[in-house]
Amino acid sequence: MANKPYQEALVPGAFKWIAGLALFILLVPIFVVFLAGLNSGDFLTFPPEGLSLRWIKAFFESDSYLPAYLYSLIIALTAMVISLILGTLISLLLVRSAFAGRALLRAVVMSPIMLPGIVIGLSLYLFYISFDIGLARTQAGLVIGHVLVTCPYVIGMVSAALVGFDRSLEEAARSLGASRWETFRKITIPLISPALIAGGVFAFIVSFGQFDVSLFLTPPNNTPLPIALYTSLRYTFEPTAAAAGIFAIFLVVVSMVITAKITNLRRITAANYN
Amino acid sequence: MSNVSLKQLVKTYGSTTAVDDVSVDIAEGEFFSLLGPSGCGKSTTLRMIAGFESISSGEIELDGRGVSALPPEKRDIGFVFQNYAIFPHMNVFDNIAFGLRLRKFPAEDIKKRVTAALEQVGMSGLEARLQNEMSGGQQQRVALARVLVTEPRILLLDEPLSALDKNLREEMKFWIKNLQSNLGITTIYVTHDQGEALTMSDRIAVMKGGKIAQLGTPRDIYQRPKDVFVAKFIGESSLLQGKVTDASETGCTFTAAGQSFKAMMRPDLKVGDAAALVLRPEQVLVSDDAPGEDWNGASGTVTSISYQGATLRYELAVGDQTIISESAIGPDTPELANGQTVNVMWHVDHAWLLPV
């Protein structure tokens, strides 16, 4: 009988088992929420009593969940756009200029992802009311809070892209007749766009699911989804919350898929350029 | 009128001086090389001409016009980088069209010019290639086409061949030189490779420590090096250490290793000065015969023989010093053995002294 040739495994078997287990533990809650949202019973229970779309319908008819969902969407998009612009500018400053206190500035702008969100929310709230600058419990005040925690993701991604950036590409563009702005627009931005897309998606997801920072900053007339879920579950234990959860998960999955498609598409269009 | 004029150019970074008082006039259509070891300031000089580095003092004139206040895009120069700097998110066509589109050329004109440029560099039909689908040599050609299509006044090349493998480097050397002389474009070429500089240049500035050590034609620099640094940097040479013992109008007598030789005199030397005689390996002959008129001969011992394919290389002990000889292998090449005593000969015209 022929012997099987010896082949070193690329990934040890134990690692595969650990990874599989971790993935399972991470995905089970999502699966539970999904089924709970399709429950036909009256209460948020698992396993579901039967499958139905009644709570999905309830989500669309609800006067708290759907507006909260849309409000979160608007806040997340706003926070994402502001984070992208601000984060790119800060990254350029941090990576491309040398000044005293650069390391300190970097630590300061990155600190919101290390601080507990509740502390940021509370400090901002106290700041707004004690200086009475008209931002307490307003949409602008909430967006500022979100940008504080989403911006570091953009800064992290874009800085990494800029550190590895070949400056001679920009110099080549300059010597071919491009101004600083044309060079930035035609060379720098396209080449760091994967980092911009990744940073933007992170910012969006972090803002959309943000509970801690929103807790003290939410305006009275509008509520972001996580806060709305929390508030309503305190009083009623309806599966509508799980149905809203399905749509939240759906949005995250969609944004991930779109990102993957865009980056793939860029590769394809680059190959058939012109 | 000279095309490029560097006037007392200085670049300092903090307390270090990268370029120290460099003045050169480069003529229209000239192929000019800046040659030197790394850190000699050659690349910094080129980058100052391009406008990528600010100048600390002095002035750069292109066509008699001071340009040190102009940004790179206003200088009308073409710059080719060591790593080619092909835009990775654009294909070959768009890379070459980049400068033309900025200049708002009409689309059909762009197409015509890009096609012509690709033909010029022998890359026709590769318009759709991306940077990562091309070899170093192809990227090099695209980088040149991208620059030449904008018809710059001056071409600046920063070690464009150093990332290529040896065979391709040899081929590209002649190709670039031909392209340059056909176009007649003023070219400044930065390299650390003396072979490239000698083959391609009309004139070479050898740089050391931010200063120009010697400025001259390749022939001047190879045969009449100004000092030991230049002699050692350009080509291989044996230095015979000795002393000027007598001088006349036509030449001088140089004594080394207990023997006297005829050599050319230079104005910065006088009788009694210590000096070194530069001998290029190919100018040193080894023979059993006595030296003829206008030839110097020294008695030496063969200490090492190595076969190089086209040439034979001998190391010869003359007194306590070593002379290297390299000669083409021909039908009457004498067979020498280690330890054999021979006559080591060189012509008076090749007896060039250096101050030490």
pLDDT per position as a tens digit, A117-131: 999 999 999 999 999
* Dist CA A100 CA B142 (whole Å): 41
Of B79, B94, B143, the CB nearest to A171: B79
Composition of chain A by helix, strand, coil, percent to 5:
75, 0, 25
* pLDDT score recorded for residue A211: 94
Nearest CA of chain A to the CA of B166: how many Å? 24
Q: Residues with Cβ < 8 Å from A78, sequence gap 6 or more?
A: A143
Classify residue A51 by its DSSP letter.
B
pLDDT tens, position by position, B181-205: 999 999 999 999 999 999 999 999 9
Average pLDDT over residues A176-190: 95
Could you tell me which chain A residue has the CA closest to the CA of B130? Answer: A271
* pLDDT score recorded for residue B52: 95
Range with the poorest average pLDDT among A94-108, A213-227, B12-26, B256-270? B256-270
Could you tell me which chain A residue has the CA closest to the CA of B133? Answer: A271
Is the CB of A272 inside 8 Å of chain B's CB atoms?
Answer: yes
* Residue linked to tokens 């790119």: A88
The partner residues of B345 in beta bridges, in order of sequence, read B285, B297
Judge: A187–B85 Cβ closer than 8 Å, yes or no: no
Is the CB of A61 inside 8 Å of chain B's CB atoms?
Answer: no
Identify the helix (H) or strand (E) that includes residue B299.
strand B295-307
Report in angstroms the alpha-carbon separations of B26 from B30, B158, B185, B186, B188: 7, 17, 12, 8, 9
Contact (Cβ atoms closer than 8 angstroms) between residue B11 and residue B41: yes
Nearest CA of chain A to the CA of B52: how many Å? 7
HSE, side-chain direction, 13 A CA sphere, residue A159: 17
Q: Residues with Cβ < 8 Å from B132, sequence gap 6 or more?
A: B88
Judge: A175–B72 Cβ closer than 8 Å, yes or no: yes
Nearest CA of chain B to the CA of A34: how many Å? 41
Contact (Cβ atoms closer than 8 angstroms) between residue B152 and residue B78: yes
Residue A24 inside a domain? The answer is no
Scanning A183-202 for CB atoms below 8 A from B yields 186-187, 190-191
Helix (H, G, I), strand (E, B) or coil at A213: helix
pLDDT exceeds 60 at position B1:
no
* pLDDT score recorded for residue B2: 62
This model of the complex carries an ipTM of 0.86
Average pLDDT over residues A215-240: 89
Classify residue A186 by its DSSP letter.
I
Residue A17 inside a domain? The answer is no
Residue A27 inside a domain? The answer is no
Other CB atoms within 10 A of residue B25 CB: 14
Is the CB of A271 inside 8 Å of chain B's CB atoms?
Answer: yes
Residue A159 inside a domain? The answer is yes
Residue A120 inside a domain? The answer is yes
* pLDDT score recorded for residue B308: 87
pLDDT tens, position by position, A31-56: 888 888 888 888 887 788 888 888 88
The partner residues of B301 in beta bridges, in order of sequence, read B317, B341
* pLDDT score recorded for residue B248: 81
pLDDT exceeds 90 at position A160:
yes
Distance of alpha carbon A40 from the chain centroid: 32
Composition of chain B by helix, strand, coil, percent to 5:
25, 35, 35
The partner residues of B247 in beta bridges, in order of sequence, read B252
- Chains A, B: CB contacts within 8 A come to 79
Mutate to test the interface with B, among A167, A175, A262, A267 (most CBs of B within 10 A): A175
* Dist CA B228 CA B238 (whole Å): 11
* Dist CA B58 CA B22 (whole Å): 9
pLDDT exceeds 50 at position A201:
yes
pLDDT exceeds 60 at position A270:
no
Residue A8 inside a domain? The answer is no
Contact (Cβ atoms closer than 8 angstroms) between residue A237 and residue A141: no
Helix (H, G, I), strand (E, B) or coil at B154: strand
> Largest Cα–Cα distance in chain A?
85
pLDDT tens, position by position, B296-355: 888 889 999 998 888 889 999 998 899 999 988 887 777 788 888 888 999 988 889 998
pLDDT tens, position by position, B165-175: 888 888 889 99
* Domains within chain B, CATH numbers bracketed: 2-230 (3.40.50.300), 236-355 (2.40.50.140)
* pLDDT score recorded for residue B349: 87
Helix (H, G, I), strand (E, B) or coil at B11: strand
Is the CB of B93 inside 8 Å of chain A's CB atoms?
Answer: yes
Of B91, B127, B150, the CB nearest to A177: B150
Helix locations, B163-213, DSSP H: 166-183, 194-200
Judge: B91–A190 Cβ closer than 8 Å, yes or no: no
Helix (H, G, I), strand (E, B) or coil at B127: coil
* Residue linked to tokens 């474009």: B185
Q: What is the pTM of this model?
A: 0.84
Q: Residue A116 is part of which domain span?
A: 62-269
* pLDDT score recorded for residue B50: 95
User: Which residue, among B269, B238, B240, B232, has the nearest Cα to B252 in the 3D structure?
Assistant: B269
Contact (Cβ atoms closer than 8 angstroms) between residue A36 and residue A44: yes
Residue A68 inside a domain? The answer is yes
* pLDDT score recorded for residue A271: 45
Classify residue B282 by its DSSP letter.
G
Residue A251 inside a domain? The answer is yes
Of B102, B128, B130, the CB nearest to A178: B102
Q: With cut-offs at 50, 70 and 90, classify the pLDDT of residue A68.
A: very high
CATH at residue A129: 1.10.3720.10
Contact (Cβ atoms closer than 8 angstroms) between residue A264 and residue B84: no
Report in angstroms the alpha-carbon separations of B167 from A121, B131, B163, B170, B171: 65, 22, 12, 5, 6
Other CB atoms within 10 A of residue B53 CB: 17
Is the CB of A98 inside 8 Å of chain B's CB atoms?
Answer: no
Q: With cut-offs at 50, 70 and 90, classify the pLDDT of residue A273.
A: very low
Domain tally, chain A: 1
Judge: B73–A175 Cβ closer than 8 Å, yes or no: yes
Of A172, A186, A191, the CB nearest to B79: A172
